[in-house]
Structure 1
């Protein structure tokens, strides 16, 4: 039941799916989500890039489109009084939980390295190591009819390539994140290079600490 690759999601639709996947694992007591809770998750200041501010009416319009594609399901939950929403993303796209977790984090936080994805996805899915993250990413990138992620050109000073999702169509480099090493003449500043390097190193350290904690 895979959706056509010719119809990419709108940005807000992808953000909604990411929020639903995230909250299903991190706050199961309130999942499925009400419209208000879903809007709050979309507008959340932490663990979001970019940070947005959308109205309930905008979220409702995006939900209606997602429902028409069976990517979101309506339910009244245990109370039977308040309408709630659940995601059907993995089933529609034919993806395992690990791939769903990676795509959710990419929709919520923007392009990231495999090390960053492993650390940021920890609460949604526990990957054994960075190589297992890369294996799932390679699988998502090599889907014949509709690749769902792409590897971006490595930035100047960065150790790892970043990955971006393709749920909304072709990926683009976010503003303020620097340019590829082989990009046009306006190279990133020294500060941007240092920040990019530090972000990658922090993600690698977080992944290493998680690995040590599990072994200990």
Structure 2
């Protein structure tokens, strides 16, 4: 099943998955709760400021893609929403946690993922986490992909593919001369040393002048 989520849909789906795990007592979520979750400043990259109307449209689109459902609780006055991720994909709890964090925070290293999935699904080791990533990256329709390390970095990063193939700006390899900037305290010390050296040079010149006058 080919899916390409917009940035708003990506954030909304990630929030629904996250809140099901972290706040089950208030799940499914109202439109206001989904919007608040999308715009929170912690555990999000990038931080966004979506309006309720944008979030509502994204929920409609996710429902059209069978990834979300509108529900009404007994006696509820407000419509609520839940995700249908497991109705579309066969995933275990660890794989769901990884996909959730990748939806919410973009490309990440295995080490970052292990820390950030702790509250959703604790992996016993990096090896277990990497096994789950391999499962998500397998098959004809992978859900994640490994990225090549950035220039000057060694660690691999992984990205989710529900939003389509990632597009990154090509790194610039133009050499730019850099000048080391001393710390403020060090700069003051250097200036003092230079001033002292100037005084010493001036004194030596005076002594040399007096010495020469002895032979005139």
- The reply to whether TM is greater than 0.5 is yes
> Which structure 2 residues correspond to residues 140-179 of structure 1 after superposition, within 5 A?
140-144=136-140, 146-173=141-168
Q: CA deviation at 1:186?
A: 4.3
- The aligned counterpart of 2:187 is none
| Alignment correspondent of 2:173 | 185
Bigger Cα Rg: 2
Superposed, 1:46-65 pairs within 5 Å as: 46-65=42-61
Distance 1:110 1:56 in 2: 23
In structure 2, the residue matched to 1:36 is 32
Unaligned runs of 5+ in 1: 191-216
User: Aligned pair in 2 of structure 1 residues 43, 184: CA closer, same or farther (>3 Å)?
Assistant: same
Map 1:1-216 onto structure 2 (within 5 A). Answer: 4-5=1-2, 7-144=3-140, 146-173=141-168, 184-186=172-174
Indicate how the Cα distance of structure 1 residues 23 and 138 shifts in structure 2: closer, same or farther if over 3 A, else same: same
Equivalent residue of 1:99, what SS?
Answer: helix
Shift of 1:106: 0.5
Q: 1:157 to 1:68 in 2, by over 3 A?
A: same
Q: Residue 115 of structure 1: SS of its match in structure 2? A: helix
Shift in Å, 1:189: 11
Q: Which moved more, 1:59-68 or 1:88-97?
A: 88-97
SS for the counterpart of 1:150 is strand
Higher alpha-carbon deviation: 62-71 or 72-81: 72-81
Gaps of 5+ in 2: 179-216
Answer yes or no: is the 8 Å Cα contact 1:8–1:168 preserved in 2.
yes
- Structure 1 residues 187 and 164, CA, compared in 2 at 3 Å: closer, same or farther? farther
Question: Using the alignment, how far apart are the partners of 2:69 and 2:40 within structure 1?
Answer: 22
**CA pair 51-187 structure 1, distance change in 2 beyond 3 A:** farther
Task: Determine helix, strand or coil for the equivalent of 1:112.
Answer: coil
